């Protein structure tokens, strides 16, 4: 076999290998693109689902204050209200707290039962802790939140912790700026609310 023919064979073999290699890379690239496209679609669907779920949550936990049987105040308003003279009942609740939602249903049934005593919607003051129970530090509610947290710590009903989280729900009778009674003592039920209000002779009970 002369050198010219050998060169042709080598070049031919090289071309075949080169074509196969290019073909393999092309196929792998196509596969990778398909995988990436599928992942993009999946992420898009997940994000859409997440946004939809968040919208549903926001709708579920939205507050129509005009229809609430109790009076809602913000965390920013709460410290001054807690220190007022006289006696008042305060409920501290968060809109993403399952225990809070259950207690709110009980409260609504209780207040529906005693509509005449709740004509001014101030039989119970709800301190609205928002969606997360801990407001953004840049919000106007945060200072009020810190003061409510300290109020609960000073009363011995919340523990000192780095996050300043006081947990929810809280339901107290406050007299002259001090906690005088707690619903936890009676149970989170219509009967518990009636017993707490009656034993303290609160607002004519």
Which tens digits make up the pLDDT trace of 15-73?
Answer: 655 556 665 555 555 555 554 554 455 444 433 443 344 333 433 444 455 557 688 99
Residue 62: per-residue pLDDT: 44
Residue 150: per-residue pLDDT: 95
Q: What is the 3-state secondary structure (H, E, C) of 101-168?
A: HHHHHHHHHHHHHCHHHHCCCCCCEEEECCCCCCCCCCCCHHHHHHHHHHHHHHCCCCCCCCCCCCCC
Residue 179: per-residue pLDDT: 96
Residue 174: per-residue pLDDT: 97
- Mean predicted confidence (pLDDT) in 111-116: 84
| CATH T-level assignment (fold) for domain 65-204 | Glutaredoxin (3.40.30)
Residue 3: per-residue pLDDT: 64
Stated pTM of the model: 0.67
């Amino acid at each position: 076999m002369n050198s010219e023919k050998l060169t042709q064979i080598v070049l031919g073999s090289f071309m075949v290998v080169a074509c196969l290699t290019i073909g393999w890379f092309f196929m792998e690239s196509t596969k990778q693109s398909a995988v990436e496209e599928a992942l993009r679609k999946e992420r898009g669907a997940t994000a859409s689902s997440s946004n939809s779920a968040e919208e549903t949550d926001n709708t579920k936990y939205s507050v129509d204050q005009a229809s609430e049987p109790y009076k809602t105040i913000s965390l920013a308003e709460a410290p001054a209200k807690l220190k007022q003279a006289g006696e008042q009942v305060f409920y501290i609740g968060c809109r993403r707290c399952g225990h809070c939602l259950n207690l709110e249903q009980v409260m609504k049934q209780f207040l529906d039962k005693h509509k005449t005593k709740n004509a001014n919607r101030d039989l119970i003051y709800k301190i609205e802790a928002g969606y997360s129970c801990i407001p953004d530090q840049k919000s106007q509610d945060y200072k009020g939140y810190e003061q409510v947290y300290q109020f609960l710590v000073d009363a011995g009903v919340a523990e000192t912790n780095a996050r300043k989280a006081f947990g929810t729900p809280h339901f107290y009778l406050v007299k002259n700026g001090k906690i005088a009674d707690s619903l936890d003592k009676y149970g989170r039920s219509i009967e518990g609310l009636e017993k707490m209000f009656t034993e303290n002779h609160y607002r004519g009970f």
